[in-house]
Amino acid sequence: MPLISEAYDSLPYIDAAPSTHALDSARALIDADIKAAGVDASVLHPALLPSASYVPTYSPALEQEHARLAADPKSKIIGVDLSRYEGLEEPPDADDEKPEELVAWTETLRKAYASSEYLNARLTELGLLEKFGKNMWLVGNAQLEDILKALEAELADTKTQIEATEEARRTNQGAVKGEVDILEESWKKGVGRVLETQVAAEALKREILERRRAGAV
């Protein structure tokens, strides 16, 4: 069985706060150790990259958009081109002898098909939104409320545990405060007696030396 069953390394609730002189002395000792180790505190460790050396990288699309905004800061961001879904102008009458007119009609017809599919999909989505959107929105809100309540309950439980832990630490440290004070006082008295013994021993040595010298004379 060990002689010491408990160790009080940190007693923030009963220990006195260190004085300014003690803090300055501790910082001076730390600085001296750093200098003795040859460490330059002003230079970052190689594993820590300074923020100035970080260069972000972007995709070609973002680079192109940055260049466009730099050239014209007041320009708007161009997203999806909606012109393909707008009303199409009828090309001139097709003529078998003019292939370019057939190409124009083919391109117009392709755009019309794309616009028709987009509008049909849009109508379908709007119908689904009108029919089920309200309920989905309410269900989503209810789920978010449940998640919020669970997080709030977990937070409250964590705070309760923290408070209980702090109270237990405060109680335990308060219970041993008298013992710690007695041990500290005994340690101070022991150190004082050791110093007194060393002083008395030195005085006795001097007295012995003086008597020897006197006898020799």
Length of the chain measured in residues? 217
Longest dimension (CA), the chain: 146
Contacts of 108 (CB under 8 A, 6+ apart): 88, 89, 90, 91
pLDDT score at 3: 47
16 φ/ψ sector (left φ>0, alpha ψ -120 to 50, else beta): beta
**156-173: pLDDT as tens digits:** 999 999 999 989 988 988
pLDDT score at 177: 86
- 3-state SS, one letter per residue, for 79-122: CCCHHHHCCCCCCCCCECCEHHHHHHHHHHHHHHHHHHHHHHHH
> What is the C-alpha to C-alpha distance for residues 29 and 41, in angstroms, rounded to an integer?
15
Q: Give, as one character, the DSSP assignment of residue 51.
A: G
Residue 88 has pLDDT above 80, yes or no: no
Residue 1 has pLDDT above 60, yes or no: no
Instruction: Please give the structure tokens belonging to residue 137.
Output: 């929105």
Is position 42 within any domain? Answer: no
What is the pTM for the complete model shown?
0.45
Work out the pLDDT band at 147, boundaries 50, 70, 90.
Answer: very high
pLDDT score at 156: 95
What is the average per-residue pLDDT within 198-207? 93
Place of tokens 């021993």: 201
**9-60: pLDDT as tens digits:** 567 778 878 889 999 999 999 988 988 888 777 777 777 766 556 678 899 9
Residue 96 has pLDDT above 70, yes or no: no
Is position 206 within any domain? Answer: yes
pLDDT score at 205: 92
Q: Which domain holds residue 201?
A: 182-211
Residue 93 has pLDDT above 70, yes or no: no
Work out the pLDDT band at 105, boundaries 50, 70, 90.
Answer: confident
Is position 8 within any domain? Answer: no
Is position 72 within any domain? Answer: no
Is position 143 within any domain? Answer: no
Q: Which of 68-92 are b and which e, b meaning 16 or more Cβ less than 10 Å from the residue's Cβ?
A: eeeeeeeeeeeeeeeeebeeeeebe
Is position 207 within any domain? Answer: yes
The SS3 call for residue 77 is coil
pLDDT score at 48: 72
**73-82: pLDDT as tens digits:** 777 776 666 6
Structural domain count of the chain:
1
Is position 193 within any domain? Answer: yes
CA dihedral 7, 8, 10, 15 (to 10 degrees): -170
Percent of the chain residues past pLDDT 90, beyond the cut: 32
What is the average per-residue pLDDT within 99-118? 80
Residue 186 has pLDDT above 90, yes or no: yes
Is position 169 within any domain? Answer: no
